[in-house]
Amino acid sequence: MKLVKIILGAIAIIWILSLVISKIMLPIQNPEGHYSGLILDQESDQILKESCFDCHSNLTKSYWYMKMPLVSIFIAHHISEGREELNFSKWDSLTDKQKKKAIEKSLDEISEGEMPLKPYINMHPSAEIDSEKLEKLKKAAHRIYGVIPEDGVPDKD
Ligand code: HEC
């Protein structure tokens, strides 16, 4: 069947183009270099790792859907933008003031339901930050960087 061949050919071309474009947008999947020590504390860092690191660090993991046609472009765009805004792997190179600001912004984004991005949560439900996790992050942010969340100083444990 000629039509089937044409359709399969078109899919193959779109697929290959998608992979090439996404590779160009995100040339190095996992560039070298990572922070030493901690961002906040063990528990909070675990939350950030699970919910944010795929887009905001050099430790992006690979998932099958990242190779799908067009989706790969969409995701490469998110990761390169995410890393540009905030790359936790470069934590060591930030000043204390920049760190505080980054954590402040992060808490705002999470509280407003902007982060992690919705499509990511759809694919990774456990990445959603519930109120318990958010409270943990707020407490650590206050204790370590003196961040005061919009809803006031968190209670002590
Ligand atoms: C699926 C990828 C993805 C995940 C996961 C993700 N982000 Fe983002 N993040 C982005 C992109 C893309 C941007 C830039 C565009 C935007 O602001 O929407 C961004 C922007 C940001 C910004 C800057 C916002 C601004 O306007 O200045 C902060 C802060 C941030 N993210 C924090 C987080 C935190 C904290 C988490 C985890 C709880 C997280 N992100 C999870 C992709 C992601």
Residue 152 C-alpha to ligand 1 middle, in angstroms?
Answer: 23
The pLDDT profile of the chain, 157 residues, written as one tens digit per residue, is 899 999 999 999 999 999 999 999 887 777 777 888 899 999 999 999 999 999 999 999 999 999 999 999 999 999 999 999 999 999 999 999 999 999 999 999 999 999 999 999 999 999 999 999 999 999 999 999 999 988 877 777 6
Ligand 1 center from residue 137 Cα (angstroms): 16
Query: Of ligand 1's atoms, which has the minimum distance to the CA of residue 124?
Result: 5
**Structure-derived torsion over alpha carbons of residues 147, 150, 151, 153, reported in degrees to the nearest 10:** 20
Nearest to 151 by CA among 113, 111, 116, 114: 111
Substitution site in 39, 60, 72, 109 for ligand 1 pocket (most atoms within 8 Å of beta carbon): 109
What was the pLDDT predicted at 103? Answer: 97
Separation of 68 CA from ligand 1 center, angstroms?
22
Residue 134 Cα distances to 5, 128, 139, 153, 154, angstroms: 52, 10, 9, 13, 11
